[in-house]
Amino acid sequence: MDLDLRLVRYAVVLADELHFARAAARLLIAQQTLSSQISRLESRLGVTLFLRDRRHVELTREGELFVRRGRELLADASDLLGELRRSAPPLRLDVITEGLTSGVIARELRPRLADVTLEVVQGQGFAGTVSALVEGVVDLAFGRINGTGEPLPRSLRYQLVRLEPMGVVLPAGHELAHRARVPMAELAAYPLLLHTAQEAAEWLDWNQELAAAFGLRVGWRLRGHGRGAANAAVLAYRAPSFGPLEAPLPDGVVVRPVVDPVPLYPFSVIWRAGSKSIPLRHALTTIYDIATERGWPAPPREDWWLPVADRHGPLSASVPSGVPRTAAQDGGTRPRR
């Protein structure tokens, strides 16, 4: 007969407690379920493992033998799984840079995928990470799939993770810093600081599309890596710049929501088609769960804006079997150009 390790674990825990209610609580199952499963195990083995009545649970001689060897089986199984995990290659994630949605996802993934080794890198932009993803240097990447200067390679698949509202990052003493929410029209009076990494063509494109759509002036165009460098530039030039609302900020810098409309940045998770990696599939399912728990894929109820390329066509693409699929996000809302 095949021995079910789950039933072995039930017997070992019951032997530890010699009490069905306490054992069931440890196993996170109902007491009735534990009792029926122990009876099933005894029936399959053809021996009695436990003597029990309403007040007493006791191991038989056969039960003592089964539990002693059962502990060894469970320890061997645990060691085997540990060796397999240590020998498996890590799951490599590119989170672009610090302070972004992708970093939040990476932090959430670690406790939820405790059996998977995660290796996090920062490629500074999705446009610069595409080749690494195609070549298998990284397994998962995050970013905006449009605006990179090239079509998304046919070997890649993507799933929308978040329509993220972007705010305006300001020096603390700036006139607009005193506003709780900054209307888009008011930004036209102030030249913007556009800070992008060479590898982040999609972020540069998003900023330029937004400026063109609302007649905003770009006063400074700087190259640099990371939110830290972008925030330092805001302080140095005393100029507003677009950035995430939730990223950590240094002293002297504030971020305010932009409204009328809310500018949205579409973050997707991207991976290679045809991957057979079970950890990858688990990661994609978990990323979907994280996004939906937080309501990230849904646009706000108020007026919002996306670049034209991001509003036309479905914002969620095909996903591997077993991974949920989100609906297109451009219906039932009021987008503005």
For residue 15, the 8-state DSSP code is H
Per residue in 23-62, pLDDT (tens digit) is: 999 999 999 999 999 999 999 999 999 999 888 999 999 9
Q: Residue 20 pLDDT > 70, yes or no?
A: yes
Q: What is the pLDDT of residue 248?
A: 84
The whole-chain average pLDDT of the chain stands at 87
Beta partners for 182?
258
Q: What is the pLDDT of residue 272?
A: 92
Which residue did the predictor score with more confidence, 320 or 179?
179
Share of the chain above pLDDT 90, in %: 69
Band of pLDDT at residue 84, cut at 50, 70 and 90? low
Band of pLDDT at residue 331, cut at 50, 70 and 90? very low
Q: Residue 324 pLDDT > 50, yes or no?
A: no
Q: Residue 330 pLDDT > 80, yes or no?
A: no
Per residue in 259-318, pLDDT (tens digit) is: 999 999 999 999 999 888 888 999 999 999 999 999 999 999 999 999 999 986 444 433
Sign of CA dihedral 235, 238, 242, 246: positive
Residue 324's alpha-carbon distances to 19, 115, 148, 275, 279, in angstroms, are 41, 22, 26, 16, 16
Q: What is the pLDDT of residue 123?
A: 87
Cβ atoms of residues 325 and 316 within 8 Å: yes
Q: How far apart are CA 45 and CA 225, in angstroms?
A: 64
Task: Name the residue with tokens 């390329």.
Answer: 309
Beta partners for 223?
196
Q: What is the pLDDT of residue 124?
A: 83
Q: What is the pLDDT of residue 317?
A: 38
Q: Residue 326 pLDDT > 80, yes or no?
A: no
Q: Residue 92 pLDDT > 70, yes or no?
A: yes
Which residue did the predictor score with more confidence, 98 or 186?
186
For residue 247, the 8-state DSSP code is S
Q: Residue 86 pLDDT > 70, yes or no?
A: no
Residue 206's alpha-carbon distances to 51, 219, 310, 337, in angstroms, are 71, 16, 10, 13
Q: How far apart are CA 326 and CA 308, in angstroms?
A: 20
The amino acid sitting at 225 is: H
If you count DSSP H runs as helices and E runs as strands, how many of each does the chain have, helices first?
Answer: 11, 13
Nearest Cα neighbor of 11 from 48, 56, 55 is 48
Residue 113 CB-density burial (10 A; 0-12 exposed, 13-18 middle, 19+ buried): middle
Q: What is the pLDDT of residue 189?
A: 94
| Residues contacting residue 82 through CB under 8 Å, at least 6 positions apart | none
